[in-house]
Amino acid sequence: MKNIIENIKDENVIYYLEYLKYERRLSDNTIDSYGENLLMLLEQTRKDALSLSSDDIRNFLLNVEASTKTKAHYLSVFNSFYNYMIFNKKINSNPCDSIKAPKLEKKLPNYLTDEEVDKLLDIRLIKPVDYRNKAMLEVLYATGIRISELTNLELNQIDFDECIIRVLGKGKKTRIVPLGDTAIKFLTLYINDYRKFLLKTKTSNYVFINKDGNKISRQGFFKIIKKLAKEANINKDISPHTLRHSFATHLLNNGADLRVIQELLGHENLATTEIYSHLSNKKIEEDYNHHPRAHKESGIN
């Protein structure tokens, strides 16, 4: 965040970014992203933020080289900034109010079938890293937590007696997520018998360790899951987030309540979780297409 602030001369924007950090407690990456978006707007319009009109912002969005999704994100950032300025009585109206957000095509998240999950989790266990990878995949699929929440997981966040983990999520909010028997089994095996071989002479509170004895990174595990998917002959573009989507989709398909899934995933709004309803409906449609009379005329005139 420090580097972003050094490049921004508009004190109102700096004030807003500090609000995001100290009051909203957003991550540094998110704050940097918001700062970069606002800095781009100021540099291209060559005006102070509070002097920008609706036309200035509309022209910026029309001319900036970015995808529809990115433009929608820019508008969301600008809208948030101006609403905060209104709240602090710096301005009376939001110039973004009259700007229509770009229409986004709703893209359904990628997920694995039950069979594909079984193939991915069927890891040949030989080396300590194999047991670590197995434990990570089992925990991801059993809990649906984000990859950042998994890589930042510490030993004191696991309660083996209660079979739960205390997850520190977005906005530093804590939620409790249950662990299934299989996840507990391989997590216990990894921690008790194999984690020490990765740590070597080092000590760490983090659960998942790389070959150098340090906390495994998101990028590191991203490469691992890609490699494991390829070895399992799964022809889908897979990331750690795919298991989060699979967790939610499989829960919904097996009758779980959408609000329970929202709580487990740590979504602030139910609308975010409702995307899995679309996935479930899509699956119902696809399954119905296998019905022998789904594409035949009934013969009734």
Amino acid at 57: I
Q: How far apart are CA 278 and CA 294, in angstroms?
A: 20
Which of 71, 244, 245, 250 is flagged as catalytic? Answer: 244
DSSP state of 207: S
Residue 276 appears among annotated catalytic residues: yes
Q: How far apart are CA 181 and CA 287, in angstroms?
A: 31
> What is the number of alpha carbons within 13 Å of residue 87 lying toward its C-beta?
10
Which of 132, 146, 195, 250 is flagged as catalytic? Answer: 146
Residue 264, both tokens: 């487990």
Residue 267 appears among annotated catalytic residues: yes
Which of 21, 73, 166, 170 is flagged as catalytic? Answer: 170
Which of 215, 226, 241, 283 is flagged as catalytic? Answer: 241
Do residues 113 and 245 make contact, with C-beta atoms less than 8 angstroms apart?
Answer: no
Residue 170 appears among annotated catalytic residues: yes
> What is the number of alpha carbons within 13 Å of residue 84 lying toward its C-beta?
18
Residue 241 appears among annotated catalytic residues: yes
DSSP state of 93: S
- Residue in the block written with tokens 């998101």: 218
DSSP state of 19: H
Nearest to 144 by CA among 234, 250, 227: 250
Could you tell me where the beta strands, DSSP code E, fall in the chain?
Answer: 158-159, 164-168, 174-178
Strands 174-178 vs 158-159: parallel, antiparallel or unpaired: unpaired
Residue 109, both tokens: 């998240």
Residue 146 appears among annotated catalytic residues: yes
Q: Which helix (H) or strand (E) holds 79?
A: helix 68-87
DSSP state of 191: I
Residues taking part in catalysis: 146, 170, 241, 244, 267, 276
